[in-house]
Amino acid sequence: MEINRNELISIGTSSVRVSETKDVSKRTSITITNSSTGTEIITISIDKEATSLAGRTLYPGGAWNASRGDRFFPTQKQINVICDQASGQISLAETYGED
């Protein structure tokens, strides 16, 4: 499986859309890793603005992954993140494919 997107993204205390809604090219996998070097906590929100510490939370080194399986397709909705401090960082890897 080829990774179509592989980025390091700086995250602050405002919600940031890191992946748009997928209509044509379906998301087959997504991995978000908190690659912050301090005590920053990243919060992930699907299909709405992210609010710090209200959703899927990732401590430094923590990761969230959703991958296509036999009966599962990752969300195709927008994904937003926020940090509890001004100096957060995530690594994002995403693949797309057909149905």
pLDDT in tens, 51-85: 999 999 999 999 999 998 878 889 999 999 999 99
Residue 84 and residue 52: Cα distance in Å, rounded? 6
22 closest CA partner among 58, 46, 57: 46
Which class in CATH covers the domain with range 5-97?
A: mainly beta
Helices (H), the chain: none
Q: Which structure tokens are listed for 51?
A: 């609010």
Q: pLDDT digits over 24-58, tens only?
A: 778 999 999 999 999 999 999 999 999 999 999 99
pTM of the predicted protein model: 0.91
